[in-house]
Amino acid sequence: MDYQFTIIVPVYNEEANLARVEQELTNYIKIATKKTKVLFVNDGSQDNSQSLIEAIADKNPAFHYITFKNNCGLSAAIKAGFDYADTELVGYIDSDLQTDPQDFNILLEHINQYDLVTGVRANRKDSFVKNMSSTIANGIRRAFTHDGMDDTGCPLKVIKTDYAKRIPMFKGLHRFLPAMVLLQNGTIIQVPVKHFPRVAGQAKFGVWNRLIGPLMDCFAYLWMKKKYINYTVSKRN
C-alpha cells in the first residue's frame, strides 16, 4: 500500500493511554487527506505498553512499531521515527493525546508550500506553572534561534521527510525542529491547533526539563548553527 504520511508516536509508560491512541488515530486515518500509517516508538517502557502496542499492530495493518532496548528519551524516539519513516511526509504526536490527530489535516493543508508545519497550542489546558515555564522557555529559544515560533514544544508537527532525515538530532533537540529546518534553508510555518488536558498517565517533563535544560540546549544549538554544513549540488552525472 502506497502510504504518503507516517505519524510517529513516541511511547514511554503510557499503557493507560494506548487504547485511546488506537481509537483516535484509527478515526483519523479514515479522514486523513494523505494515505497515513502510524509508527509507535516504544522508548524502553517498563509498564505494559509494549504488549498493548503489539496487540494494536496485530489487528491494524496501518500500525507499526519499533522498540528501544533501553529508555533513550523523547528526542531519540523522534529521531528513530525519522530514520525508519519511508513516506514522503512524517508527523509527530504525543501519546498523551493532548493534541487532536484530526488537526493533522490542518497542518497538511500547508505542507506543499512549507517544509515544516507546526501547531501552536491555542488556549492551553495545562497548569499555570507548566504554561509559564513553557512561555519563558519558548521566549529564550526564539531569542537564540530567531525562528519566530511561539510554541516549538507543541507535539503536533508535519515535516517533509527528506528534511527530517537530515536533522542532526541530540538530546533536547526535539524543541528545535523548526530552527533545524531553517538551517537547511527550509521554510516553516505555525498554525493554531486544539489542546486538551492530560486525562491519563503522568507527564514526563518538569520545570527543569522545560526551562533550565532547554536554556543549556540553546548554546548547543548555537554551536551547531556555526558549524552546520549546508551545500547545494549544481550538477552531477
Please give the domain boundaries of the chain with CATH numbers for all domains: 5-227 (3.90.550.10)
pLDDT tens track for 129-151: 555 556 666 666 666 666 767 67
Percent share of the chain, pLDDT over 90: 58
The DSSP H or E segment spanning 174 is none
Tell me the pTM. Answer: 0.83
Eight-state DSSP code of residue 172: T
CA nearest to 76, candidates 104, 99, 44, 51: 44
**SS3 state of residue 163:** helix
pLDDT at 203 over 60: no
Q: How far apart are CA 232 and CA 209, in angstroms?
A: 36
Q: To which residue does cell 501519546 refer?
A: 95
Query: Average pLDDT of 200-213?
Result: 56
